[in-house]
Every structure is written in C-alpha cells, then in structure tokens.
Chains A and B, each alone.
Chain A
Amino acid sequence: MKCIKIDKNEWAGGLEAAASTYRLFGPVKEDEFYEFKALEEGRAPDAAAMAVRNTRTSPRSVVYPQAEVLFEYTTDERDPDAHVMKEPEREEKPRAAIGIRPCDAYSFVLVRNNFESPEYQDVYWLRNYEETTFIGQACHDPCSTCFCTTAGCGPFHEEGLDVLLADAGDHYAAKVLTDKGETFMKAAGWGDEIDFPDEEWEGWKTAAGEKIVSEVPTDRLADIDTLALHDADFWDDVAFSCINCGTCTYLCPTCWCFDIQDENKGREGIRYRCWDSCMFPIFTLHGSGHNPRDAKTQRVRQRFMHKLKYFVDRYEAGIQCVGCGRCVQHCPVNIDIRKVCNLMNSFGETESCSVA
C-alpha cells in the first residue's frame, strides 16, 4: 500500500505551509476540553490535541456553522444597493479539517443526504462541504462509548475522508484517498512516498475494532412498522429524565436542523440561519399557536425515530448516527442512544420491553 510518510518533526511546518492556501480547522484546547475549530495561524495541533478522541462539540461547524449569515441588506435609499439582498463577503481560501476522526468525517456523508437531494440543493452547505478537505486521523484507541463499528463506520473508516492518517510513532502514515487529498498533501509539502505493509495497517484496524466495546443492533429497524414503533409503550420511560436541552442535538455530528432568523438595526439587516433542536418545545410551534409536539415524550421520540427509523427508511443509508458517543457522554441526565436503539430494534421481538 502506498502511503506518504509524514515525519512528526515536519507536521507543524507542513501545516504552516498549507495554511497559506487553506483555512485550517482542528482540535483546539479550551480550558477543560478540546473543541474542533479554526486553528490560529501557525498553530498546528500538537501531539496532545491529535490524541484527543472526541472533541466536545463535533466538527459539524466547519461546514455548517452554528450561525451563518445568508444575506444582508439595507433599505437606505441613499445606498445604490438599497433593497438588494447581498451575500456577505466570503473568505476565499478553502478549508481543511485536520485530524478529524473517521466517524465525524462520515457524518458529513450522512448529512449530505439532507442538504443535497434531487429536488433540493442547499447551496450554503454544499459549497462549504465541497471546498473542505478532510484530513482524517484513525483511532487506535477508541472510547468505551464509541459504537462506530455498528453505526456504519469504524476507527479506520475512509468514507468522507480525503486523507487518512495513522499514527506510526515518530511519523504519520498518510493514505491519500482522493485528488483533493493529494492537492492538500502537496500544499503541505509532504511527498515522501513509502510502501506501507498492508498487514500492519490491517492489524491496526483490527486491533482498534476489537477495542470497541459498545454496539447498537440495527438489523430489524427497517422492517419494524413505523406506527407501531411510534406507539411503543417504552417512550414515556425513555423520555422521563429528559430536560429538553439541546446538548444531544448540538454535540451531534449528524443533527442538521436549523432555524431562519432576521435581525435588523435601523435600515440595515441580515438573514441568518442557526442550528435548532427538536428537543426545544418551540421547534414545532405553529404560527397558530398549535404545537404538534407539545409534550416531552413526543420530542424525545422524534429525535430517536428520526435518527433510527425515518432516516433508515427514507435514505436506506443506515442510521443517522455515526456512533461517536458524544450524546452518551454528555447528556446531563444520561439518556443513552445505545439503550434506546436496542429497545427500538428489539421492538415486537419480545412481549415487553424495559429500559433498565
């Protein structure tokens, strides 16, 4: 197998060189945890940052910022562009996500189903996605809450990546997967091609897969009757502890829902979109005042039904979850998608289901 060898001594320098062409994003240390965000000029993720398995919030915002201005306008007649909806100036440099984990990169492949369909193309998301190069990093040491291998990907999964790096001690072995990846490698000045032993790579991959201790069964989801599952008797129990915050949906790499907002000051205004959450009661509040998901159980059910049933049925691309485990780790009341998926998948199999 052909790989590019990136000596770790050349890591920072390479990224510095790439930064003249790309805007770099990667794991950045906050006070107590790591975020996936823009790297300051000349600040390559160090060994500690690259060892981070899950950044607290997912890299979703690289492509899909939490708030993104769609257009701006003025109604000031003295301005020749009055009443014209103008797109704000865009940064011209393409983006590169450095050290993104395979599950997070795969999340964009799933989310693309929503933002690009035969009847509808979301230009904002697609443009950001297409101009981003994903330099992934394989997970040699997954977390106990990772269940990627049963959620459609895995610690060495390549789908959605342009380059996959594997940590080989004093260097990274970089498997270049696409032309975009090759372009990035050139920009970074990394071109030391080596013959990497297939069996070593496969050995790592197998070893990492064996360290995954969590799993979700998904084999029956597609065949279960939607309405029967919707009316299952376990939802009240699943939803009881939920406080309806947006932690799960905002940390999730595959949640895609947004709100559209207008803000103006005097004669100037903007329209932006921002993440929204199906956990919030106002998410479905109609203009009439009617709210079809007025009760907590309805909202919790919606989140799981969307990810584990509606998505499965509509796109035939597995579940809308990559198994990163962020919601499992950070739900303030310990609602665990692994348990819920288990309940859903085994629905109808036994006479009664219990969560505990």
Chain B
Amino acid sequence: MIAYTDKIQEIARRLLKDCKVETVIGFRKGSVPMMNEPCFITSADAADGLVWDGNCGINLANYLTNRKEKIAVFAKGCDSRNIANHIIENKIDREQLYIVGVPCQGMIEKRRIRQMAPGEITEATEDGDEIRVKGRDFEEVYNRDEALQKNCAVCVHRNPVIHDEMVADEVEEQTDVDRFADVREIEAMSPEERRVFFRKLLEPCIRCYACRNACPLCYCPTCFVDESQPQWVGKSQNPTDIWTFHFLRAYHCAGRCTDCGACERACPVGINMRLLTKKLNKDAFDQWGWEAGLNLEERPPLDTYRPNDPEEFIK
C-alpha cells in the first residue's frame, strides 16, 4: 500500500492547485514507528508531506464533523462508510466533500508487532506483504497478514463505498472470513460467565475516553457521561460507572458502527471494546440484514419507522 503515497500526493497537489478544494485531510509520517498522524494541508506545496501505508488506521471521517469548507479526504473502506453515515446523519454535505477512495489491504496493529518483536522497535517499514522491523540489536520480518488489526482481518468492505476518485484499482474483497466468531463465543456464555468476562474486559479502563473520541460516531456536543445537570454517571473508578459508559456508548452506536476499529486502536490500555459494538452490528445484520454506511439512500433501521412493522410494541 506504500505505493499509494505518490498517487495520493499527486491527487492532493492537483485538487489544491485547481482550487477544487480548500483543505485536504490525510496523513503525514509519524514520529514513532508504526504511527502516522492525521493532518490537513491547504497548499499544493505541502502535498509532499502526505503518506500512505498500513499505519493509517485512524478513521479520518472523525475529522470532518462540523467543518465548513470544501474538503478532500482520503478514505479507506471503513472511512468511506463512516463518511456515508455522516452524510445520512446530516453532519456534513456530500457536496462539501471530495472523497478520494483508498482500496485497503488492512491496517497494522502495532501492539501485536511490538509483542512479537524481541525488543523495542525503532524502525518499521512495509514492503509488499512483509513488515520489516528493526531494533537496537535485532531485525525481524513479519507477514503483514499476521499483524493486521483484528477488525481488518475480518473486514468485507475494504473498497470505499462512495468516492469521487480512486487512488488505485479496487482490491479483492475477503469472502471466507467469519466476522462474528468472537461475538458468538460471548453469546454462548451463561449470564454469570458474561458478567465475569465483561468485568475482566473493562477492568483496565482509565476513563480517558480515547475510544469514544476516536470514534466517528461519537460526535454528540456533550456526551452523556459529561452531562452534569443531571449527572448520569459518576466519575470515579467505580466499575458500574465504567460499565455504564462502555455499554451505553455501544448502544448509541447500534446500526451505525462500521467496525473500523478506531476505538480499540486508540485505547491506551488495550481494551477490545469492539466486542460490544460488534454484538450490535451482528444483531442489526441478523435481524435486518443491515450493515452501516453502505450507501446514501437507505435510512438506518433504528431511525426508520414503518407502519407495517411486525413488532407489536412499537405500534
């Protein structure tokens, strides 16, 4: 995917030079291995600083909310679905955006590579299917597929669903993946086992809200955990408050989440809170065949009412 960088710079340069857009949102090279930093550029000269590789996992849809200018944004499959969400939810106009689609082969989970490496990684480069990492006294090569983010490994929408231009030809979509194996494992647990499981899952939480803030869906002007009149949730390390935050946030994402993995990726203490949102993704898929953000035409199931709804409770 590193091959996209030249093309990305070229597109950004052209769009800014031709005044097609005022701002381009993309990534610049990070200051630590396996990290890139979201950035915006407003002049064609700055396009040289844009990069693309397997470390662009941060969902750029997050940076569009409430912007007023005409923007070009580079979008992976999941980013594009979240952009579609934003448009459906009236957070941004389609006309305001020039979406440059980036066919994705999955993003790298730096934590997994750090764990595999025998020491601290000081340099990491991607080369086709391989990731070469170096440390003070070692050099290792890992297979890219073994180091993908968990959500990327089971992603079936790697190609952008809406775009004005593509950086490259579409990539082949994965078809032989079991997307919800982890959710089924939890569903099979007894209530008591689940309680223990969730307690362990959320125990490390330090309430930094990186998961919420990295999530493109979490754009509420004031999150329910930040409300003070009335205050719904306590601010200590009380497990009930921590659970309330995570569970309620997941419910707020029901029928909207694209499993982009931004939440898990951002968590400084390695919590896989995707397990919560994925359960709701699975429910939406099982019950309505719904996957969020695949097009701009359909309303999400949870903001739709049909008079012929078969459920009694809603009538």
Contact = CB atoms under 8 A, between A and B. Distances in A.
Interface residues of A, number: 43
Given A246-B208, A332-B210, A241 B38 contact: yes
Contact of A282 (B38, B58, B212, B228): B228
Contacts of B228: 282
A332 B266 contact: yes
B40 interface: yes
A274 B236 contact: yes
B179 interface: no
B37 A334 contact: yes
Contacts of A31: 270
Nearest to B28: A356
A329 B32 contact: yes
A284 interface: no
A163 interface: no
A137 interface: no
Given A56-B268, A66-B206, A334-B31, A259 B235 contact: yes
Contact of B32 (A30, A66, A67, A328): A328
Given A32-B111, A356-B28, A66 B213 contact: no
Nearest to A277: B208
Given A250-B206, A282-B228, A336 B32 contact: yes
Contact of A335 (B37, B237, B265): B37
A47 B28 CA distance: 39
A244 interface: yes
B147 to A, nearest CB: 15
Per DSSP, chain A at the interface is loop
B39 A240 contact: yes
Interface string A136-148: 0000000111000
A272 B236 contact: yes
B118 interface: no
A55 B37 CA distance: 24
B235 A145 contact: no
A339 interface: yes
Given A143-B120, A241-B37, A251-B268, A334 B32 contact: yes
B258 interface: no
B222 interface: yes
A240 B63 contact: yes
A356 B51 CA distance: 12
Interface string B143-158: 0000000000000000
Contacts of B206: 57, 66, 246, 250
Q: How large is the interface on B (under 10, 10 to 19, 20 to 34, 35 or more residues)?
A: 35 or more
Contacts of A237: 39
B36 interface: yes
A334 B30 contact: yes
Contacts of B28: 356
A8 B115 CA distance: 27
A29 to B, nearest CB: 12
A330 B120 contact: no
B19 interface: no
Given A272-B236, A328-B32, A245 B208 contact: yes
Given A67-B235, A263-B234, A332 B265 contact: yes
Contacts of A272: 236
Given A32-B270, A144-B122, A332-B58, A246 B235 contact: no
A56 B235 CA distance: 21
B135 to A, nearest CB: 9
Q: Shortest 4 CB-CB distances between A and B: which pairs? A: A332-B266, A67-B236, A245-B210, A246-B208
14 contacts: A32-B111, A33-B270, A144-B122, A241-B58, A245-B214, A246-B209, A250-B206, A251-B268, A277-B208, A332-B266, A332-B268, A334-B31, A339-B31, A356-B29
